A and B are shown apart, each in its own frame.
Chain A
């Protein structure tokens, strides 16, 4: 069993929809990262969380340490949000989920 599980693996949405991507982990962590990867490969860090909730523009990330679960929400989704979203947890190293591929259609 992977130490970091993401769901769903693939997600298709219409522009304007509210989107949720989930991440569950099974190890003790120092922090949790949400990353975005566009076609072409570069990875951008969206959030780093150790508790509670963070918001940046239309993106919101939450974490529940007791339940070992985090969610990434995108409000009013847009085609430019189409990307792979990766959850990664920091233990003595960074452990990555396999990603959620999001496609937002106009």
Chain B
């Protein structure tokens, strides 16, 4: 079975901290995505990657960056965390139109 693993389920960080959210997939898929989920807004695309070292901005990239040094790992970086980045973050991968999601990281910035 396809697996997408996010390293932390819950995270509390302070305003201004640099935050790394890690996502690892075991399916050798090329496409990986980072979403954030907020009440009433649904899931919104932050960044995606179609290949190693390749990244594309999604709908809400401001305040975020990403890194994809290896095919299986896609990292989301909050350069300087702010309270409005408190949210649920979900990683996903896709192949042949099917999507597999990670279990999510609930990030609180205080």
Contacts and interface: CB of A to CB of B under 8 A. Distances in A.
A41 interface: yes
A43 interface: yes
Given A42-B104, A48-B97, A97 B42 contact: yes
Interface residues of B, number: 24
A41 B43 contact: no
A90 B97 contact: yes
Contact of A98 (B42, B45, B58, B106): B42
Contacts of A94: 33, 43, 45, 94, 99
B81 to A, nearest CB: 19
B90 A41 contact: yes
The prevalent SS among residues of A at the interface is: strand
Contacts of A90: 97
B43 A96 contact: yes
Nearest to B97: A31
Interface string B45-85: 10010000000001000000000000000000000000000
Interface in A62-89: 86, 88
A101 to B, nearest CB: 10
A40 interface: yes
Interface of B: 9, 33, 37, 40-45, 48, 58, 88, 90, 92, 94, 97-104, 106
Interface of A: 30-31, 33, 35, 40-45, 48, 86, 88, 90, 93-94, 96-99
